[in-house]
Amino acid sequence: MADKNKHVDLFVIGGGINGAAIARDAIGRGLSVMLAEKNDYASATSSASSKLIHGGLRYLEHFEFSLVREALGERETMLKIAPHLTMPMRFLVPITKDQRRPAWMVWIGLKIYDLLSGHKQMASSGRLSSAEVDQLSRLRKQDLTSVLHYADCWVDDARLVLETLLDARARGADIANQRNVEKIEPAENGYYVHYSQDGHTHIVLARFVVNTGGPWANDVADSTNDTLPRRSLQLVRGSHIVLNMPKPADTTAFTLQNNDGRVIFTIPWQGSKYLVIGTTDQSHTGDPAKAVCTPQERDYLLDCYNRYFAHPGRAATAHDVIWSWAGVRSLVGSDKKSLSKVTRQSKIFAKPCGTGGFVMVYGGKLTTHRRLAEKIMKKLEQMGAKSTPSWTATAPLHGGRYDRETLSQMAENGPDFLPKPIRQRWAFTYGDQIETLFEAVRKNKSQAKLIAPGILKAELHHAVKSEDAKCAQDFLIRRTKLDLTLTPKDKAKVNAWFSKLKRI
Ligand SMILES: Cc1cc2nc3c(=O)[nH]c(=O)nc-3n(C[C@H](O)[C@H](O)[C@H](O)COP(=O)(O)OP(=O)(O)OC[C@H]3O[C@@H](n4cnc5c(N)ncnc54)[C@H](O)[C@@H]3O)c2cc1C
């Protein structure tokens, strides 16, 4: 039977990037914090992004200068606090004769981008020489007038969420996946939050509740009889497709202008073994959890890719697509605007309740999650929480204590009975936690047992014990991206390992 005596300062609903960032920020400011994620952490939009920590060059067209400046500042911050997950990436922008945005326009955009960023750690933009253009062997040269370049950052989105949450937990927050918020009742000073976990219902009195339910934010709001400051949502689906990296392999990312004026990225992925092409902007109806890349979206992306690149031998087709994903943005904006033009700026609405209150969060960007959390903290202060200084811009995330060079070195010097590719993968998956994994296999050699190609028992134990993985998908799709590389037979071995664990 649930009792109503448990209480916390802040209850966060949703374990995507926004919920994670808010939980981390709040616990570091001395609030007691609980977070509920009904599925796995980052199982929704936050693992289905384009995985860019970027200013968003195209937002300049909509004069969203403050959003771009804020996001560009965050690139620098993420490189400092999560160097194992974030890396600078150079983007090339081919300009052809018939494009809607001519070279001079893109050039001005890039220079504004440079100016807004102050590029402390990032290279500034420019134009490739014709000799450099000649080396881009697969890029079609017909109608090409020039190739510009600029820099942004790439991030492992699912792990960024996870490491933010693990950081919050290490500081004392009560974080759980498979914890579902079912009902919210207003109280005198705050809210009773009813949630289910492990087959039981629990109730906690939270002074403040923050709803970061992403595409489900309004469903969460429906679960209370209080009138909350809700807005109508536009759900917009974006899809990506993955190809094996065509030969000759290209380690450069491209920003392409499609015929309809939309921007499409091609991004080398997983050590340039794969090529990601995205994204689309489609109005979404139905359950956001069931969003998939449709055949139309796949063909749209392939068409754009084939227009710019010569795939070896023939044009790339649906048969070349080995993986895809789709995510749903929850945007607040006018139905009359084209989907690409609706602002990506987050919207925050708060309602006090006695000495507590409820905060609704809509939209936002992966890139600006940390700044969003700071804004939420300000809102809580306006509703009576103690005023505290910001702290998250300089504190390394869980796993983020070492720079990339040090991590490479650690992988190099790791136990020599472990294959080098495993050591290297661990370094840029787990960051400084590689020490824990190395210690586990050094202490107990049985931990080095291979469960499936490239996967040791120690890593699976770590995923379960320290990263809350509950099933093979949690591990193969979000803790790692090994789902891409394993055969169905090898995935079944990981599945079997998790099933055996459940029976123990
Ligand atoms: C295709 C696409 C590409 C993108 N690319 C980029 C990019 O490259 N760079 C960038 O900066 N941004 C990008 N974005 C935006 C970014 O991904 C999103 O802004 C961000 O992931 C939203 O995070 P969130 O935490 O609000 O939502 P989500 O990640 O959707 O998290 C919400 C969570 O709430 C949980 N939840 C819902 N209801 C309940 C309940 N009752 N109880 C408990 N839990 C609940 C859900 O299970 C879910 O995990 C992209 C978005 C899309 C769709």
**Structural domains in the chain, sorted by start:** 7-45+158-231+343-382 (3.50.50.60), 85-155+234-337 (3.30.9.10), 404-503 (no CATH)
pLDDT at position 3: 59
pLDDT tens digits, 193-249: 999 999 999 999 999 999 999 999 999 999 998 888 889 998 999 999 999 999 888
Distance CA 448, CA 38 (A): 33
Tokens of 345: 């700026």
Q: Which atom of ligand 1 lies at the shortest distance from residue 213's CA?
A: 34
Q: Which atom of ligand 1 lies at the shortest distance from residue 329's CA?
A: 53
Please compute, for residue 380, the number of CA atoms within 13 A of its CA located in the half-sphere on the CB side: 29
**Ligand 1 pocket check for 463: Cβ under 6 Å:** no
**Ligand 1 pocket check for 180: Cβ under 6 Å:** yes
pLDDT at position 101: 87
**pTM here?**
0.96
pLDDT at position 341: 60
Q: What are residue 458's phi and psi, to 5 degrees?
A: -60, -40
Task: Give ∠ CA 345-336-372 in degrees, rounded to 5.
Answer: 10
pLDDT at position 66: 87
pLDDT at position 61: 82
Q: Which atom of ligand 1 lies at the shortest distance from residue 326's CA?
A: 1
The residue assigned the tokens 């708060």 is 350
Secondary structure percentages of the chain, helix, strand, coil, to 5: 40, 25, 35
Residues in a beta bridge with 185: 192
User: In this structure, which residue's CA is closest to atom 26 in ligand 1?
Assistant: 214
Distance CA 440, CA 448 (A): 9
Residue from 49, 204, 262, 328 to probe ligand 1 pocket by mutation (most atoms less than 8 Å from CB):
49
Kindly report the number of other CB atoms within 10 A of residue 417's CB atom: 9
Q: How far is the CA of 53 from the centre of ligand 1 (A)?
A: 14
pLDDT at position 62: 80
**Ligand 1 pocket check for 75: Cβ under 6 Å:** no
**Ligand 1 pocket check for 298: Cβ under 6 Å:** no
pLDDT at position 122: 86
- Closest by CA to 390, choosing from 367, 365, 372, is 372
Distance CA 460, CA 385 (A): 40
Segments of the chain with pLDDT less than 70: 1-4, 119, 334-344, 503-504
Instruction: Please say whether the beta carbons of 22 and 376 come within 8 A.
Output: yes
Q: Kindly give the pairing relationship between strand 274-278 and strand 234-244.
A: antiparallel
Q: How far is the CA of 48 from the centre of ligand 1 (A)?
A: 8
**Ligand 1 pocket check for 429: Cβ under 6 Å:** no
